[in-house]
Every structure is written in C-alpha cells, then in structure tokens.
Amino acid sequence: MEKFTSHTGVGVPLRRSNVDTDQIIPAVYLKRVTRSGFEDGLFAAWRNDPAFVLNQPAYAAGSVLVAGPDFGTGSSREHAVWALQNYGFKAVISSRFADIFRGNSGKAGLVAAQVDEKVVQRIWAILEDQPGATVTVDLESRTVRAGEGVDAVEDSFDIDDYTRWRLLEGLDDIGITLGREAEIAAYEAARPAWKPVTQRV
Amino acid sequence: MSRTGGRTLAEKVWDEHVVRSAEGEPDLLFIDLHLIHEVTSPQAFDGLRLAGRRVRRPDLTLATEDHNVPTIDWDKPIADPVSRTQVETLRRNAEEFGVRLHPLGDVEQGIVHVVGPQLGLTQPGMTIVCGDSHTSTHGAFGAIAFGIGTSEVEHVLATQTLPQSKPRTMAVTVNGSLPEGVTAKDLVLTLITHTGTGGGQGYIVEYRGQAIEELSMEARMTICNMSIEWGAKAGLIAPDDTTFAYIEGRPEAPKGADWDEAVAHWRTLVSDDDAEFDREIVLDASTMTPFVTWGTNPGQGVPLGGAVPVPAEFEDPSDQVAAERALTYMGLEAGTPMREVKVDTVFVGSCTNGRIEDLRLAADIVKGRRVAADTRLLVVPGSVRVRLQAEQEGLDVVFKEAGAEWRGAGCSMCLGMNPDQLAPGERSASTSNRNFEGRQGKGGRTHLVSVPVAAATAIRGTLSSPADLEPAAAGAAS
Ligand code: SF4
C-alpha cells in the first residue's frame, strides 16, 4: 500500500445521499477474477446519463469524491473500494460513512474523511462554481481544504487513529503482519517436524 | 478465553498457534493448512501480484477445483464461461505461485473439505482455513478450522498467519446413543432447530459426550460441517482412537517415529476436567428421530414424523413472520404431515454427506428397489477417490439399476453453481447443508435430510425413512 500524507486533486461533487455499494459497483461486475479493472463498473447505472458528474469533462479526472451522507451502505463487497481506487480516487469526503465501507477503505488505502455536513455543502458549492477545482485532503494535519479567498474552506476531518497511522505509514494488514517477520520465522522454526506439508519445496 | 484453571481443547490448540499476542491487538495465529478453491481465491492472488508478494508457504497450501466443476462430461471444456474463467485462473495462479493443485480430471480432485481429510492432511491440533464457510468440517479431527474472506485468503497466502480475536468457548454434550437409523445429520439438524441459526454466534464449539464418541470420523465431519449453520465460528471434537485409526496410513499422515510422536501429542488434546466453557448445552441422543427441514433456513426443522408447523404457533413474532414467508416460498400448507410432502429431486452428495459411508448407506437402501416414477435421484460423490471406491464396491451399479444418476465429483447441486440446479418451484430432498431461498437454483425448494431419508424419499417420492419402505425385491437384498 502506498503511503498517504496529503493529496490534492480534482474534486467531484456527488450530490447524493445513501450511495450504497450496489450503486458504486453493481453485482454483475463481481464475476471478475482480478482486483483491478473495476473502473468501468463504477457507478455503472449513472454513467449512462450524460449529465452525470463523471461524464462532464471538467470532473472526469477527479480523485477526491465529495458525497452526501451515508456513503457506502449495503453489501460488504470489497469491490466497491477497488472500483473507486481503480478509477483514480484517492479519498472520499462525506458527513457519514457506512461502517463496513469505512473498514474496507482503511484496509485498501482509500482515505474516508468524515466532515461536518455543512463542510460538504460548502465544498459542493465551490466545485460546482468552478468545475475542475481541486480539493486537498491532508492526513497529517487531518484537514480538508478547497477554494480560495473569502469562500475558501478549511476544516478538520475525522478518521480513527489506527487507520490514520496505517495510511500514513502505507501499511495494509498484510504489510503490518509482514513487519512481524522475525516472530513468524521464530514460530516456524519451532514447529514440530511431523506436521503435514502439501509438497516439499 | 483465558482462565486460571484447566483449558479447553480449543484453548489448547489456539495457544499452540499464537505467533504474537499484545494488549489491544488480536492474536496473530499461525495457519497450518490453507485450502484453496476457484471461487474465492482469484482476487487474493491478484492482490499478491499487484503488491509484488509471493506465497510464503506453498508447502502448507493446497488447491482443488470443486464449486464450479461439471459432474458430467468433465473431460470436455467447461461450457459456462464464468466457471471456465475461474477454473482457468486458479490453474494459472497455482502454476505461477507454486501451489499444489488437484484439477478436474485428477484422481485427488474433489470438494476441498473431502480432499483434505482423505489425503491425511487434516490432523488433530491444527489450524486450518479456507475461503469457504464449511471449513468447520475439519474440526472433526480436533483442529480449529474456519472459513475466511478473500482479503484474509490473501493475508494467509502472504504471511501464513491471520490476526484473530479469541472467540468464546461452548460445549455441546450429547449423552446417550443415537437410535438405530438415526444419523449424525439428524443430530445436528435437531441441535440447530433447538438453538436457532444464531445460537453459536461468537463461539468455538466442542461437541462431546457418548453419542459423539460413538460416531465414525465421517459422521463427526457431518456434525462439524454444519457448525456454521447455527452461527458458530468453528466446531471441533477431541481426537481419540477413532481419529487416529482414520488418519493412519493416509498419504500425508506422519510415518514411523513421527507417527508415534504425533499421536503422543494428539492424546493431550482434550479439554481438562476443570476447564470451564462460556456456555454449555446438553442434549439426549436416545430421544432423537429422523429430522427434516420445512423452511428456508437450517433451523426450521421438525422430526420426519411431524407436520409443517403453523406459523401463528411460534412464540416470537419475528419467527411467525419468517415461518409464513418460508411456507409461501416452499409452497407448503401448515399442518401437512412431512411424510406427505412430494419431492421431485433427491440429491445425495456435498461436503456434509458425500463420503463413502454416505454412499454405502444410500446404496444399501436403494438396492433392489426403483426410484419413484416422477422423482430424480442424483448421486454425486464428494471426491474422485470416493467415486472410484464406490465403483470398486459396485455401488454405482446399485444406483444405476435403481434408476439414479451417477455423477462425477464436486459441489454440484449443493449450491448450483454448475449446471446441476433445481428449476423454479422444483422440490428437493438434499443431504447438503443449506436450504436458503434459491440455494440449489432460482426458485428451488430444499428440504435438508439425512442420507437414509434421502434414499427412502427417492424410492417413495415423498419424504420418507427406510422404515416406510416395502421390502426390497427378493434376491436383490445384500
Ligand atoms: S459441497 Fe456445498 S457446502 Fe460444501 S464446499 Fe461445496 S458448495 Fe460449499
């Protein structure tokens, strides 16, 4: 997993609440055997609509999604996070995330930044006023920033300490466990020789 | 799960596998055996590839093809493109990452939970995981065995460990002996109806008592297999002479001095007399009878001699609603005697009841008889070895002469991922473990049953036990 300290990228205003994981990635895309390539299924139902935000050139290269409350509800599919990442999103800002989605995001390295509802509203206003404007998600200082001058938004966001630490260090669960190499090796060295193996390697 | 007194079997096995334990963190457990199949592994391997990681212990990893594979024409390319892609992906991944694979057509191919014990890879005191909820089957040998998700599959592939919080422990003590004709399947179905599908939530369950001790290894696997059906994290049974006799001589079992050392250790794997469980359930086997489900979860069951329940008679209002919904889906009238329920298809197979003892039991009942005119009997061995053994004993001939279909090894109609499916509205009596809506095919209606009930049902065409059958044709009985 890549380290995440701060990211600045085009903000995408998604003016919808209760975006569930079936909307993020419909079930028909789950038959894939890879962990990549899910970008074509992202918000599949909405992308047929020319007016949908990602179909507008100014937002197409977006990397910070700014969504309404209760983002990521529904089924636990990890594919929802992969689809957002495969598309190019590094962070999602919302006033409320579903628990499982938040957990899956943390595991995969997508920042789920929880802010006040009013902050979402103000960022939406900026992004719609100036399509293609950027949003900064600074994990080090736990702040989101957007806009300039009198309308500029700067506010803190919530993320739990453990997830923040892992993201800052670029550690996924596997990365953390691989950091226990010495302990695993010591355990392996002490295992009885008669324990079964599937092949001699 | 830690106490000052003695330890339970589960605690002993757990403690032996802790690589690292720290305050505020789950324990890091070492995994002795990781079983893989085509459906839940592709993204895990892809994750490794994307991160440039390798499989840490290919020598503790085994793959087989089971969920998707056809049970006829298995020497031809798989017709369904999605199934074929998953199987081909597993083959490529096994090759690239150096994992031992038993593909379709190989003599060791079969349902992953049949293959492990059969090879002797499943042994007492191990930790065993697989991206499949019925991994609990392996607990019959005194192992901690449980199903995991795809991210965890990747974690085990990369590190051979898994962070896990200690579950609580439960003892299910089954006193007395099972009456003649009542099987382990009836026992576990009775237990699940007794506790509800969530009764085991958060527990590792130890099954014990006279009735459990008297069971064969294969029957013990049937019990542990269905632990997940009442919500348990895992189920296990203390290893004893029955266990050791089953393992001895299998291809991957310890040999010579290793065997002696292993058995000496395995004998210590019992719950101490003063060990305390967080919860205990006591059942009496001697009062049990053949048991079948009427609803759409494994906890909705009644004795075969009973009737479809009346929803209003359930105490809990949510049970009433669930029962009503289930009866509508199942197309059943409250009050109908279970024995009058007409069945279209009988499925004998799965990791619950697809082993050689199951096939012998079924063959014994259908021998010299004919499958009822509008009923279909599908017999699907759990593995190629089981199929070959059955054919050597002539069981295939018995089935075919009775009018049954004799198939190749795989999960088959247990979950209907391959072409073996129920049509909408079609009713089955199935020896598998799940009767969820649509499990065996969209709109299919499943009654979970034991092997003897399945076989007798195939002959009479309605839910039945062998006691309901006319004597077999003269001269044909064994
Ligand atoms: S036989 Fe059924 S329960 Fe067993 S592994 Fe296959 S699909 Fe799962």
B4 pLDDT exceeds 80? Answer: no
Please write the tens of the pLDDT for every residue from B232-256.
Answer: 999 999 999 999 999 999 999 999 9
Which residue does chain A place closest to B35, by CA atoms? A198
Q: What is the DSSP letter of B137?
A: G
Whether residue B158 and residue A198 make contact (CB cut-off 8 A), yes or no, is no
What separation in Å is there between the alpha carbon of B30 and the centre of ligand 1?
25
In the reported structure, the alpha carbon of residue B66 is separated from the centroid of ligand 1 by a whole-number distance in angstroms of 8
- Nearest CB to A199: which of B53, B58, B154? B58
pLDDT tens column, B370-398: 999 999 999 999 999 999 999 999 999 99
Sign of CA dihedral B209, B215, B218, B223: negative
pLDDT of residue A77: 85
pLDDT tops 70 at residue B99: yes
Residues of A in contact with B26 (CB under 8 A): none
Q: How far is the CA of B61 from the CAs of A10, A106, B42, B56, B117, in angstroms?
A: 44, 28, 15, 10, 14
> How far, in Å, CA of B132 to CA of B177, rounded?
32
A193 vs B258: CB contact, 8 Å cut-off?
Answer: yes
Of B465, B371, B353, nearest in space to B414 by CA? B353
Does the distance separating the beta carbons of B161 and A174 come in below 8 Å? no
CB contact (8 A) between residue B19 and residue A187? yes
With a cut of 60, say whether residue B2 has pLDDT above it: no
Q: Which residue type does B196 have?
A: G
Among A177, A181, A183, A191, most B C-beta atoms within 10 A, so best to mutate, is A177
DSSP B68-102: S--SSSTTSPPSSHHHHHHHHHHHHHHHHHT-EEE
Question: Sign of the CA dihedral B106, B110, B112, B116?
Answer: negative
Radius of gyration (Cα) for chain A, nearest Å? 20
Query: CB A174 to CB B155 under 8 A?
Result: yes
Residues of B in contact with A35 (CB under 8 A): 43, 46-47, 50
pLDDT band, very low/low/confident/very high, at B475 (cuts 50, 70, 90): very low
3-state class (DSSP) for residue B425: coil
Residue B119 Cα to ligand 1 midpoint, Å, equals: 18
- A110 to chain B: which residues are within 8 Å by CB? none
Cβ within 8 Å, pair A33-B46:
yes
Where are the strands (E) in B176-318, listed by range? 203-208, 234-236, 279-284, 291-293, 301-303
Q: In what order do the strands lie in the sheet with B161-164?
A: B18-20, B27-30, B161-164
Query: Residues near B251 by Cβ (< 8 Å), separated by ≥ 6?
Result: B119, B120
Give the pLDDT confidence of B10-66 residue by residue, as tens digits: 999 999 999 999 987 899 999 999 999 999 999 999 999 999 999 999 999 999 999
Hey, are the CB atoms on B28 and A78 less than 8 Å from each other? no
Per-residue model confidence as pLDDT tens digits over B251-276 = 999 999 999 999 999 999 999 999 99
B178 pLDDT above the threshold of 50: yes
Question: Closest ligand 1 atom, CA of B415?
Answer: 7
- Nearest chain B residue to A172 by CA: give it: B155
CA of A69 to the centre of ligand 1 (A): 39
**What's the average model confidence in pLDDT over B462-472?**
95
Q: What local confidence, expressed as pLDDT, does residue B432 receive?
A: 97
Q: Which residues pair with B102 in a beta bridge?
A: B64
Q: How far is the CA of B117 from the centre of ligand 1 (A)?
A: 15
Dihedral pair phi/psi, residue B105, rounded to 5°? 100, -20
Residues of chain A with pLDDT under 50: none
Task: Count how many Cα atoms sit within 13 Å of the Cα of residue B148 in the half-sphere of its side chain.
Answer: 26
Given ligand 1 and candidates B222, B351, B434, which is best to mutate, with the most ligand atoms within 8 Å of its CB?
B351
Q: How far is A166 from chain B (nearest CA, A)?
A: 14
Percent of chain B with pLDDT over 90: 91
Q: Please state, rounded to an integer, the average pLDDT across all residues of chain B.
A: 95
First vs last C-alpha separation in chain A: 29
Say which residues have a Cβ less than 8 Å from residue B294's Cβ, sequence separation at least 6: B300, B301, B302, B308, B309, B326, B327, B330, B332, B338, B447
What is the B245 CA–ligand 1 centroid distance (Å)? Answer: 26
A contact test, residue of B18, B19, B250 with most A CBs within 10 A: B19
| Better pLDDT: B366 or A78 | B366
Which residue's CA lies nearest to atom 4 of ligand 1?
B351
Quickly state the pLDDT bin for B474 (edges 50, 70, 90): low
Cα B351 to averaged position of ligand 1 atoms, centre (Å): 6
Supply the DSSP symbol for B296. S
pLDDT for residue B473 is more than 80: no
* Cβ A40 vs Cβ A32: under 8 Å: no
Question: CB distance A199–B43 less than 8 Å?
Answer: no
Q: Do B61 and A174 touch (CB under 8 A)?
A: no
Verify whether the Cβ–Cβ distance B154 to A174 is below 8 Å. yes
Of residues B32, B97, B41, the one with CA closest to residue A198 = B32
**What lines the ligand 1 site, CB under 6 Å?**
B 66-67, 111, 113, 132, 134, 350-351, 411, 414-415, 432-433
B405 bridge partner residues: B378
CB pairs under 8 A between A and B: 99
Residue B418 CB partners (closer than 8 Å, separation 6+): B67, B68, B69, B70, B71, B80, B83, B410, B411, B412
Q: Which residues in chain B touch residue A199, judged by CB atoms under 8 angstroms apart?
A: 58-59, 100
Contacts of B30 in chain A (CB under 8 A): 184, 187-188, 191
Is B19 within 8 Å of A183 (Cβ atoms)? yes
Provide the pLDDT confidence category of residue B478 given band limits of 50, 70 and 90. Answer: very low
- pLDDT tens digits, residue range B288-304? 999 999 999 999 999 99
* pLDDT for residue B82 is more than 70: yes
How much is the ipTM here?
A: 0.94
Q: pLDDT for B328-363, tens place per residue?
A: 999 999 999 999 999 999 999 999 999 999 999 999
In angstroms, the CA A28 to CA B272 distance is 51
Neighbour order of strands in the sheet with A134-138: A111-114, A91-94, A64-67, A6-14, A134-138, A143-146, A153-156
User: Both tokens of residue B189?
Assistant: 């179905």
Residue B335 and residue B340: Cα distance in Å, rounded? 11
pLDDT exceeds 50 at position B477: no
